[in-house]
Structure 1
């Protein structure tokens, strides 16, 4: 019986070592060696402190900053942990909204956001990504159109010309991957950091 069991035990031990130890260590080593920034979370550091990630959106308030697209993530209600409340950009609970296109709450929220944005920039159509959430609720990027829509407000609030702010948007617009895949995007956190740096340099 031991003669029959030995090959099975040896194979189990060998595969455990290969797939549970050697392979993960090799992949981790390659990732750290070739893609260290990405492997460690694509973190953004300012003045020695981590202030965010290129991969996870975060809220920005005030007219001086570009606003990200809405987030549908939730978190526990502090008053009643059995219930959930809105917690935008909650990285611990990545999720989209369960509200469908016939949902009254969704329609009212989108309409309210659209009216607010139209009042902010009445001369331009409201880009769809400024009123819709992403599937993860953590999208860190905007379309160039959504960033351009916010240029007049940001320029007014910061006392900059619209042309200056547009140049920053263009400088922080990432093209399609390999020129073919996906769409151009603007990382909101990086753009807002560039705005702050431009203001400090004046």
Structure 2
């Protein structure tokens, strides 16, 4: 190939590179930025930042915790839903726990989804003064699950148990299993490091109401771990606690909740939600917590 042809080809490639750089690297980003500054779009393009006292305190699109340095809920604030993103609401570690409905038996290094739900429900019940019990949970906030050991019939069911163990209640942490006997067999607490997979795993519903007072979004994390909203049911459950901590009436707090409630998407998708950060910022501005 002649030198002149090589030069022409390289010069054409260089010109194409320069033209595309100007169009795609400079002009296109500039146009998109200008469009994003139009009224109604600018706030979203800049991250939907919420300010308090002239300082940014977060984004309305990303949830955050309202706890003290030890992780205890601050009573004057509405609490967000649980988060499995890193050390709670870490935007760099967004994700879910990947635990599903079949996760009902705790392991040595990780509680089951059922136990997480039970423990969270119990804690919220104590914090907000409501009944935190729910089906398939023990009184001490773990999954009410038995390993029933014995010979099995043709369907894999243990018809005549010879040993029954409460698998999520270790002997070192519980004075007695949540159930005294099962089909006439004394229930044992779980021994440290023992595997009870040989038995038939049986969840026990218990006597808790079919519709728990603590709603589902209060005890389960979102898929991203960054959900900024809670249900109106969970918000209503927290009203009295927040009102007491701030020294105002529950009616005033309910009005603040209503002010920060967003309706269904497009008018018919999903359920109304409450943005926790926006709500707490408004409360700090209107009703500072009692010292």
| TM-score normalised according to structure 1 size | 0.82
Given candidates 223, 226, 233, the residue that maps to 1:135 is 223
Rounded to whole Å, the distance in 1 between the matches of 2:83 and 2:288 is: 30
Could you list the per-position Cα deviations for residues 112-150 of structure 1 after superposition, in whole angstroms to 9, with x for gaps in the alignment?
A: 011222333229721111111111111111111111111
* Aligned position for 2:131: 122
Task: Give secondary structure in 2 for the equivalent of 1:33.
Answer: coil
1:166-181 alignment, distance < 5 Å: 166-181=254-269
Confirm or deny: 8 A CA contact 2:245 2:289 kept in the other structure.
Answer: no
- Report the structure, 1 or 2, having the larger helix content: 1
The CA RMSD over aligned residues, in Å, is 2.5
Could you list the per-position Cα deviations for residues 9-38 of structure 1 after superposition, in whole angstroms to 9, with x for gaps in the alignment?
A: 554543333222211111011102332221
* Aligned position for 2:79: 67
Rounded to whole Å, the distance in 2 between the matches of 1:201 and 1:192 is: 11
Rounded to whole Å, the distance in 2 between the matches of 1:91 and 1:201 is: 29
1:29-108 alignment, distance < 5 Å: 29-34=34-39, 35-61=41-67, 62-74=74-86, 87-103=87-103, 104=106, 105=111, 106-108=113-115
Rounded to whole Å, the distance in 2 between the matches of 1:201 and 1:58 is: 19
Confirm or deny: 8 A CA contact 1:121 1:152 kept in the other structure.
Answer: no
Task: Give secondary structure in 2 for the equivalent of 1:63.
Answer: coil
Could you list the per-position Cα deviations for residues 39-81 of structure 1 after superposition, in whole angstroms to 9, with x for gaps in the alignment?
A: 111111122211111111111121111000001111xxxxxxx
Unaligned runs of 5+ in 2: 68-73, 133-211
Confirm or deny: 8 A CA contact 2:76 2:246 kept in the other structure.
Answer: yes
Rounded to whole Å, the distance in 1 between the matches of 2:18 and 2:76 is: 59
Segment of structure 1 superposing worse, 134-143 or 101-110 = 101-110
Structure whose alpha-carbon radius of gyration is higher: 2
| TM-score normalised according to structure 2 size | 0.59
* Aligned position for 2:277: 189
Rounded to whole Å, the distance in 2 between the matches of 1:197 and 1:36 is: 24
Confirm or deny: 8 A CA contact 1:73 1:137 kept in the other structure.
Answer: yes
* Aligned position for 1:80: none
Task: Give secondary structure in 1 for the equivalent of 2:38.
Answer: helix
Task: Give secondary structure in 1 for the equivalent of 2:21.
Answer: helix
